[in-house]
Amino acid sequence: MAEVTTSLSIGQVAERTGLSVHALRFYEREGLFANPVQRGSSGRRVYGEDDVEWLTICIILRASGMPLPAIRRYAELVSEGAGNEKERLNLLRQHQERVNIQIGQLTQSLDLITFKVGVYEDILSEGDPTACLTGRQQLSFGEPEGDVGGVVAMFAGLDVEQEVGVDSRVS
Amino acid sequence: MAEVTTSLSIGQVAERTGLSVHALRFYEREGLFANPVQRGSSGRRVYGEDDVEWLTICIILRASGMPLPAIRRYAELVSEGAGNEKERLNLLRQHQERVNIQIGQLTQSLDLITFKVGVYEDILSEGDPTACLTGRQQLSFGEPEGDVGGVVAMFAGLDVEQEVGVDSRVS
DNA sequence: ACTTGACCTAGAGTCGACTCTAGCTCCTAG
DNA sequence: CTAGGAGCTAGAGTCGACTCTAGGTCAAGT
């Protein structure tokens, strides 16, 4: 209770969160912090544990594909204080929905990929003729083919992209 | 069997796949086609059903975050013909693994989001005091807080990004 | 006194995957 | 014979989320 808010430098926060100092400054410029980052002697940023907690949430939201403007909006709502819980809920529900859809699509993609992995495993166990009995393959122009349902329609309109990440400096 | 390979224009393929004509030309430049796209009268691209099938696979791989260079490599392997199945399998397995990880992370993120949605639902049903008994909330600077495990470590190093998609022109 | 290291700002650069533009050629319908 | 529409190429532009650079301040250690 009498913890006098441990203060952290930008470097320490970077280390703790796995974000770069650049990213931290960038997030601040972009208004992702719910409460303004304090400044200490000679204008240096001073963070508290609560900032780290907040950043953790931001990281998770980002990791699940929430765009910065949406996180900014959420931060705004939080910083405005109580009274706008409905809007916060809406924002979160929307994102929840998107993540659900995304997981669904990835799972579908994974199905195809797993299917193809299976096909190639069968091919590579060619010494074993029983593999051919599974009937998994159906060649088309040199590529083992197997269209799992009307997949084109399934995937029109949403796409997932992964980035190389901030390296794990968490000790 | 005697289907004399239906030929499609770039516009038709765009319509069928949901990709733009720009993207189709771009994919071709990037070497994503396993077999070269044919040209018809006056240098126009002529696609076959097999190209559409191949594109469907590409779309799924892209949708699950496989980068273009990896798809190009896969296309190269396929176009080289039989004999490199092991490498194809490796490529697919790697991607499979990444997608699995991605789904895992999204699921984790979803947990937090769902948790927060729950918190706000509780708050908004304030007329009902039993909601407070769930003990879900623990406020910190105006933001209902609940750190679901050591999440920072969980998310360091990988990130998911979603793009606005090609619109669904599939009839 | 001076070097080192962490920090600061403003702004430029990067990367991946497209998307768009300019300026051209065809073919077909009126 | 001409206007429209679809296609072509080369190359420039865009977008999001950072990342990096230049040029400067400040405090501590030797």
Report CA A95 to chain centroid distance, whole Å: 11
pLDDT at B127: 64
Dump pLDDT digits (tens) for B52-100. 999 999 999 999 999 999 999 999 999 999 999 999 999 999 999 999 9
- Whether the CB-CB separation of B158 and B105 falls below 8 Å is answered with yes
Whether A18 and chain B come into contact, CB under 8 Å, resolves to yes
HSE-CB for B137 with a 13 A CA cutoff = 18
Claim: this prediction has a pTM higher than 0.80:
yes
Q: Which of A109-113, B64-68, B162-166 has the lowest mean pLDDT?
A: B162-166
The nucleotides of chain D lying under 7 Å from a protein CB are 6-9, 16-21, 25-27
Report CA B99 to chain centroid distance, whole Å: 9
The one-letter amino acid code at B63 reads A
**Rounded distance between C-alpha atoms, residue A161 and residue A65, angstroms:** 9
The one-letter amino acid code at A17 reads T
Q: What is the ipTM of this complex?
A: 0.82
Contact B117 A145 (CB under 8 A): no
The distance (Å) linking the CA of A128 with the C1' of C27 is 56
pLDDT at B148: 45
The residue of chain B with its CA nearest to that of A53 is B147
Q: Which residues pair with A45 in a beta bridge?
A: A39
Contact A155 B63 (CB under 8 A): yes
Nearest to A53 by CA among B27, B145, B50: B145
Dump pLDDT digits (tens) for A70-97. 999 999 999 999 999 999 999 999 999 9
Q: What angle (nearest 5°) sits at the alpha carbon of residue A132, between those of residues A108 and B79?
A: 65
pLDDT at B129: 60
pLDDT at A72: 97
B169 pLDDT exceeds 90? no
Q: Which of A3-7, A120-124, B54-58, B135-139 has the lowest mean pLDDT?
A: B135-139
pLDDT at B41: 80
* Nearest nucleic acid nucleotide to B44, CA to C1' distance: D7
Sign of CA dihedral A129, A132, A134, A136: positive
B139 pLDDT exceeds 50? no
**Rounded distance between C-alpha atoms, residue B73 and residue A162, angstroms:** 18
- Whether the CB-CB separation of B91 and B70 falls below 8 Å is answered with yes
For chain B, positions 84-143, list CB contacts with chain A under 8 A.
Answer: 85-86, 88-89, 92-93, 95-96, 98-100, 102-103, 105-110, 112-114, 116-117, 120-121, 123-124, 140-143
Q: What percent of chain A has pLDDT over 90?
A: 67
Q: What is the mean pLDDT of chain B?
A: 82
**Rounded distance between C-alpha atoms, residue A165 and residue A18, angstroms:** 9
Q: Which of A83-97, B23-37, B122-136 has the lowest mean pLDDT?
A: B122-136
Residue range A40-52: average pLDDT?
A: 94
Confidence of residue B167 (pLDDT cuts 50, 70, 90): very low
A71 CB below 7 A from strand D atoms: no
The distance (Å) linking the CA of A161 with the C1' of D15 is 14
The distance (Å) linking the CA of B45 with the C1' of C21 is 21
Q: Which of A107-116, A117-126, B106-115, B129-138 has the lowest mean pLDDT?
A: B129-138
pLDDT at B17: 96
B13 pLDDT exceeds 70? yes
